[in-house]
Structure 1
Amino acid sequence: MSIQQYQLTQKGGPFALTKVPLPKPGPGQVSIRPRAVALNGIDWKNLAFGAIIRSYPAVLGIDASGVVEAVGEGVTAFKAGDEVMSYAHGIIGQGAFAEVYTVAQHEVAKKPSGLSFEQAVSLPVIFLTAAATIVVGLNVELPGLSKLSNPNQPKSILVLGGSSGVGASAIQLLRIALPSVTIITTSSAPHHAHLKSLGANVVLERSAQSDAAALKAATPGGAGVDAVIDTVGAGPDSPAVFEAIKADGPKLYALVVTRPDAKLPAGLQSTLVGAENILKQEPTALQYLVKIVEEGKFKLPIKIEVVGKGFEAIEKGLGRFPANVSGTKLVVTL
């Protein structure tokens, strides 16, 4: 039996819809027939620049939701027909832009009740990355997921790129992890009210990233921030961000892997993080996501726009990057 994969044939494209054998799940694996896939910045970077892809043809796609096709030996949490969402390996060319794809069981979770496939597919990667910035990057415990012993908890945290999916997710998770922490974030004006509704104390214009005085003024006593979560790689281009870090604080800096080669000042406790980090440290992370969504503690962080139906809509949707996607998750229905 064969399926179709939407393969990227070379850097820059084109894509080709190609028949390949139906993948079979191995021990501990789950194969999924996606009903919706999300489009992410890394998909565009891999298409345009071959950012991480090293061989072709490649199958992109790191977020998907759909129905379990089959399970491998030892898998008991899922069965054929279950509605699920998952993280997939499109970052290295083994992703979800296919009629059926296969992942490890800890990269899958039941679709939250009440969410459509298109809503659910917007969550896995941005949640996992945000959780990694907090648990791995800042060494802060997420109640019900991680157990960490860190007596020096940050009292004020700056989230750069609050209107991104990772930024809006991190704000919500910080409010769960540290109910009394001061959360400061940056975004363009249209997103300010939404980010405050998610838990941010202060929302500043993006231009404040170049104004150390404005950033410090937003912190308790004007002392500066204890920690920075940089979801968009903005800090390395904005020296004022580092000037706003409290001189005698923990100086924590969690940088999402969008800028793996970024140069940071000496003296920071910096960590480069992505979705894989939290999955390795906390394999039940996606199940935790389902729990907090169903308890009403975690809302869809950004708006969803369905850009089309069918594999051919993927290339058109990726053409929207890097502009015109602020505060929006682009989704394709399959």
Structure 2
Amino acid sequence: MVKAIRVHEAGGPEVLRYEDFELAPPGPGEVQIRQHAVGVNYIDVYYRKGAYPVPSKPFILGNEGAGEIAALGEGVTKFKIGDRVAYAGPLGGYAQARNIEAKFVVPLPENVSYETAAAMMLKGLTAEYLLFRSYKVQPGDTILVHAAAGGVGLILCQWAKALGATVIGTVGSEEKAKLAREAGADETILYRQEDWVARVREITGGKLCHAVYDSVGKTTFPGSLDCLRPFGSFISFGSASGPIEAFDIGLLSQKGSLYAQRPSLFTYMADEARLREMAARLMEAVGSGKVKIAINARYKLEDAAQAHRALEGRETTGATVLLP
């Protein structure tokens, strides 16, 4: 038996039940991980509330974590008992131990802690594909990062700066502007108080940006397109303010032969070799100190409901982890 946080019915934080759970041995192609830390993300709230479909009930929340290999399923040869590992993958993270397909699991080097790994897998892998795959950032590029003080935003600012880019970030408050600047943003724009499109034009001397990374959605479109130079890339990877509604694709021609994408992390992760390559690049960036992951809240596993209340109350900055 292991302890886990299980959800029997959709609802508020009170539906998170800390209870015993019978964990079966890992099946073919699976590994069992004894978890040292589990990441908490806003998507967990959506699952808890019933906004996203789940395979069955009761279910266990959580899509990322880190720990040691405790058991191997039939056919698994890439790991051995005791290996340090991290993962981003299917639900099942809020538990002392879990089974997961080995294809979602990556090696964890000694210079990256379990807590850091659990806090960074989803956000860090997202930043990796945005900077190296959706648009390959080059030294001298200028990029715009919306929600620059958010979880992904802070990683984007640090990593893009390390790649030699000029980083402009939009934020909602002076406190968040300070966080973004500390993470490497060259310029910050208070989007609630300023005409942020005009400010981007001013900051760049009218040259505009090579790429815009937009996790906000409805309220920043089509303004994001107006921040791009000809042949620039608009990369929409979230919709915090609501989804972008259908738009006339002719806009991309009118505004400078632009490229527009709506990528998904799980599409990139679907290929095991690519996932390992992405994770290795992320581990190197964090292990070398080029990218720092701020963990500002730690809770015991049994206090998951408290963690959700803080998250929904916007009381958190940086990452939150659960410690089984």
Q: Same fold (TM over 0.5)?
A: yes
1:296 aligns with 2:296: no
Q: Show the counterpart of 2:54.
A: 53
- Could you tell me which residue of structure 2 aligns to residue 204 of structure 1? 189
Q: Superposed, which structure 2 residues align to 1:1-334 within 5 Å?
A: 2-12=1-11, 14-53=15-54, 55-90=56-91, 95-138=92-135, 140=136, 155-176=141-162, 178-179=163-164, 181-187=165-171, 188-207=173-192, 210-219=195-204, 221-231=205-215, 233=216, 235-239=217-221, 241-242=223-224, 244-246=226-228, 248-256=230-238, 261-263=243-245, 265=247, 266=249, 267=252, 269-281=259-271, 282-284=274-276, 285-300=278-293, 302-306=294-298, 308-310=299-301, 312-334=302-324
Which 5+ residue runs of structure 1 have no aligned equivalent? 143-152
Q: Kindly provide the CA deviation profile for residues 283-333 of structure 1, in whole angstroms up to 9, marking residues without a partner as x.
A: 212232222222232222x34211x213x2111111123332453212221
Between the aligned partners of 2:117 and 2:291, the Cα distance in structure 1 is 12
Taking the aligned partners of 1:69 and 1:191, their CA distance within structure 2 comes to 41
1:40–1:262 distance in 2 versus 1, CA, 3 Å: same
**Partner Cα distance (1:97, 1:273) in 2:** 27
The CA distance in 2 between the partners of 1:258 and 1:132, in whole Å, is 19
Please give the alpha-carbon distance, in whole angstroms, between the structure 2 residues aligned to 1:52 and 1:210: 38
TM-score (norm 2): 0.83
Partners of 2:194 and 2:260 in 1: how far apart? Answer: 18
In 1, the alpha carbon distance for the partners of 2:68 and 2:36 equals 7
Q: Are residues 257 and 214 of structure 1, via their aligned partners in 2, closer, same or farther at CA, if it must alter by over 3 Å?
A: closer
1:216–1:167 distance in 2 versus 1, CA, 3 Å: same
Q: Give the Cα separation in 1 of the matches to 2:319 and 2:27.
A: 32
Matched residue SS, 1:31: strand
Any stretches of 5+ residues in structure 2 without a counterpart? 253-257
Farther-moved stretch of structure 1 (281-290 vs 62-71) = 281-290
Secondary structure, counterpart of 1:227 in structure 2: strand
**8 Å contact kept, 2:218–2:245:** yes
Alpha-carbon contact 1:129-1:275 (below 8 Å) kept: yes
- Structure 1 stretch displaced more, 156-165 or 261-270: 261-270
Q: Number of matched residues?
A: 310
| Displacement of 1:222 | 2.0
How big is each residue's C-alpha offset from its partner over 1:87-141, in whole Å with a ceiling of 9 and x where there is no partner? 1312xxxx21123212233422333424443233211111011223234432x17
SS in 1 for 2:65: strand
Q: Secondary structure at the match of 1:23?
A: coil
> CA 1:111/1:203 → structure 2, altered by over 3 Å: closer, same or farther?
same
Q: Partner amino acid for 1:163? A: A
Separation of aligned partners in 1, 2:260 and 2:44: 26
1:222/1:275 Cα in 2 relative to 1: closer, same or farther (>3 Å)? Answer: same
Q: Secondary structure at the match of 2:227?
A: coil
Partner Cα distance (1:77, 1:318) in 2: 35
Distance change (3 Å), C-alpha of 1:244 and 1:208: farther
SS in 2 for 1:109: strand
Distance 1:120 1:79, change over 3 A: same
For residues 83 and 42 of structure 2, what CA distance do their matches in structure 1 show?
Answer: 28
1:241 is aligned with what amino acid?
G
Deviation of the 1:208 alpha carbon: 5.9
Distance 1:122 1:325, change over 3 A: farther
- CA RMSD, aligned part only? 2.9
Could you report, residue by residue, the CA deviation over 1:235-281 in whole angstroms, capped at 9, with x for unpaired residues? 42134733532352324223236678432643253322333133235
- SS of the equivalent of 1:118 reads helix
Aligned to 1:145: none
